[in-house]
């Protein structure tokens, strides 16, 4: 890298800027073997990003060498950011430049910085800038060649699959009750569902709904990653326990484990080799459930947090 980097802050991105960001992300993913940006960011990126989102672009030598996504909408937890640096431009201070500007752009000086895959360089940068580990997300996996337990659905509950155009609102209402205290999964609107329905991986036959007396009380949304360029990946397909949500009134009755197994059997019947899921490291009960189902820890995402800067004495 010969030219000094230039950093610009944008709202929505143009089509050319989106293409440049996606190319940078692809190169970072290939180098690190994990994507630097979350699903939420990648889903909204084709349209230029969300409203109220700030996109930070670093250019040098007439190419994009760094990108950061800043979400300032969470007034409770504080701003949240993710970033990516072009592999052959690393070691030139671009990551630090992005984080310094992210802190300036945060409305109240607080910032949560996600490092996907627990990359050692990301951790070293965060610690050197006064961030602390505040949340850890595990990716767990299991083979689908191993036998699965039988499914035992609670009495009075019927299972069916999702119908596009009919079930969105009921699903949102149950999901938001189930994840009312969850920082990422709660508070969804219809747009969040419709964005996913438009994705190549979406399959309503892989979204299982549990009803009691005709009322939705829980669901398991499965997902398949990969399987060729049609899905935007060139690695073998892998299943995911994407979202398992149970209405609080139904929790503790065995519906969650039943829905989880229904989805696992579905993914197994698709002929997939393995399945993954994400769970908070602090959620010991859920981890123990998944371990009993044969899941083991595979990778780690870390959230690094920094509060408001303290005034000098």
According to the model, what pLDDT value does residue 130 have?
94
Q: Are 130 and 158 contained in the same domain?
A: no
Q: Residue 260 is part of which domain span? A: 146-272
Among the candidates 137, 157, 192, a domain finishes at 137
79: in domain: yes
Residues 214 and 107 in one domain: no
Residue-level pLDDT, tens digit, the chain, 313 residues: 678 999 999 999 999 999 999 999 999 999 998 899 988 899 889 888 877 789 999 999 999 999 999 999 887 788 999 999 999 999 999 999 999 999 999 998 899 999 998 788 899 999 999 999 999 999 999 999 999 999 999 999 999 999 999 999 999 999 999 998 776 677 899 999 999 999 999 999 999 999 999 999 999 999 998 764 333 444 579 999 999 999 999 989 999 999 999 999 999 999 999 999 999 999 898 899 899 999 999 989 999 999 865 443 3
Domain end marker among 107, 137, 167: 137
Q: Is the domain of 166 the same as that of 57?
A: no
CA distance 182 to 176: 9
In a domain, 292, yes or no: no
pTM of the model: 0.80
What integer pLDDT is reported at residue 43 of this predicted model? 86
Contact, 186 vs 176, CB < 8 A? yes
pLDDT at position 233? 42
Please tell me whether residues 151 and 251 are part of one structural domain: yes
Mapping DSSP onto H, E and C, the string for 38-102 reads CHHHHHHHHHCCCCCEEEEEEEECCEEEEEEEEECCCCCCCEEEEEEECHHHCCCCHHHHHHHHH
204: DSSP letter: G
Q: What is the largest CA-CA distance in the chain?
A: 68
Q: Is residue 53 part of a domain?
A: yes
Q: How many domains does the chain have?
A: 2
| pLDDT at position 227 | 61
Tell me, yes or no, whether 133 and 199 share the same domain: no
């Amino acid at each position: 890298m010969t030219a000094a980097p230039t950093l610009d802050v944008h709202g929505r991105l143009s089509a050319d800027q989106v293409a440049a960001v996606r190319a940078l992300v692809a190169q970072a993913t290939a180098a690190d073997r994990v994507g630097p940006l979350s699903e939420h960011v990648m889903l909204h990126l084709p349209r230029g990003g969300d409203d109220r989102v700030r996109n930070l672009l670093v250019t040098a030598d007439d190419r994009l060498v760094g990108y950061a996504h800043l979400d300032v909408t969470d007034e409770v937890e504080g701003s949240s950011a993710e970033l990516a640096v072009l592999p052959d431009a690393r070691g030139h201070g671009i990551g630090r430049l992005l984080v310094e500007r992210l802190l300036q752009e945060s409305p109240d000086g607080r910032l949560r910085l996600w490092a996907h895959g627990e990359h050692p360089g990301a951790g070293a940068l965060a610690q050197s800038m006064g961030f602390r580990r505040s949340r850890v997300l595990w990716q767990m996996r299991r083979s689908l060649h191993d036998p699965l337990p039988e499914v035992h659905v609670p009495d009075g509950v019927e299972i069916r699959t999702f119908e596009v155009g009919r079930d969105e609102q009921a699903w949102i209402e149950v999901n938001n009750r189930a994840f009312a205290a969850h920082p990422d999964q709660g508070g969804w609107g219809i747009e969040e569902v419709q964005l996913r329905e438009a994705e190549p991986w979406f399959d309503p036959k892989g979204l299982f709904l549990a009803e009691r007396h005709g009322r939705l009380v829980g669901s398991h949304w499965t997902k398949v990653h990969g399987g060729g360029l049609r899905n935007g990946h060139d690695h073998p397909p892998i299943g995911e326990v994407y979202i398992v949500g149970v209405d609080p009134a139904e929790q503790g009755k065995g519906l969650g484990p039943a829905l989880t197994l229904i989805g696992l059997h579905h993914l197994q019947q698709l002929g997939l080799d393995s399945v993954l899921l994400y769970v908070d490291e602090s959620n010991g009960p859920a981890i123990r459930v998944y371990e009993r189902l044969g899941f083991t820890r595979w990778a780690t995402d870390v959230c690094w947090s920094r509060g408001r800067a303290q005034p000098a004495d």
